[in-house]
Amino acid sequence: MERLGVPTSLLITEPFQEVVDSVSPTLGAESFPTALLPHPVSNFDQPELAVLAKSVVDLVTAQLVE
Kindly report, residue by residue over 20-47, the tens digit of the pLDDT.
999 988 988 888 899 999 999 999 999 9
Q: How far is CA 5 from CA 2, 9, 44, in A?
A: 5, 13, 33
Name the H helices within 1-66.
Answer: 17-23, 46-65
Please give, one letter per residue, the 3-state secondary structure of 42-57.
Answer: CCCCHHHHHHHHHHHH
Confidence class of residue 2 from pLDDT cuts 50, 70 and 90? confident
The domain spans of the chain are 2-65
The H-or-E segment that residue 41 falls in is none
Quick one: pLDDT at residue 16? Answer: 95
pTM of the predicted protein model:
0.82
